[in-house]
């Protein structure tokens, strides 16, 4: 997966979260961001990584997103690793 594809998946995840009436407020609360902040940061790879971090906290969210997007279930985590690059790798 290349970085552009990973960012596209993260943007899809952000759109899916924004359309989810139950989960979107949880996401906003956990990030401390407003809807305006999301629009301003939607192109920032660090922010997109945080979207994928949030999504991958719960297997049910991953399954629901991937089912809606027609993606394999490992895609969000693979995209997160690509966005993070080597700086995001933790071996401990």
Q: Which of 18-22, 28-32, 47-51, 62-66 has the highest mean pLDDT?
A: 62-66
Average pLDDT of the chain to the nearest whole number: 89
Q: What is the rounded average pLDDT of the residues 33-61?
A: 90
Residue 73 has pLDDT above 60, yes or no: yes
- CA 63 to CA 2: how far, in whole Å? 22
Alpha-helical segments (H) within the chain? 3-19, 24-31, 35-41, 45-55, 59-69, 75-84
Confidence of residue 88 (pLDDT cuts 50, 70, 90): very low
Q: What is the rounded average pLDDT of the residues 14-42?
A: 89
């Amino acid at each position: 997966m290349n970085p552009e594809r990973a960012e596209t998946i993260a943007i899809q995840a952000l759109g899916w979260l924004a359309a989810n009436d139950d989960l979107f407020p949880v996401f906003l609360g956990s990030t401390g961001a407003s809807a305006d902040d999301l629009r301003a940061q939607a192109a920032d790879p660090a922010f997109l990584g945080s979207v994928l971090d949030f999504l991958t906290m719960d297997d049910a969210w991953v399954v629901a997103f991937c089912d809606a997007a027609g993606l394999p279930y490992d895609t969000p985590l693979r995209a997160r690793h690509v966005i993070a690059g080597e700086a995001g790798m933790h071996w401990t």
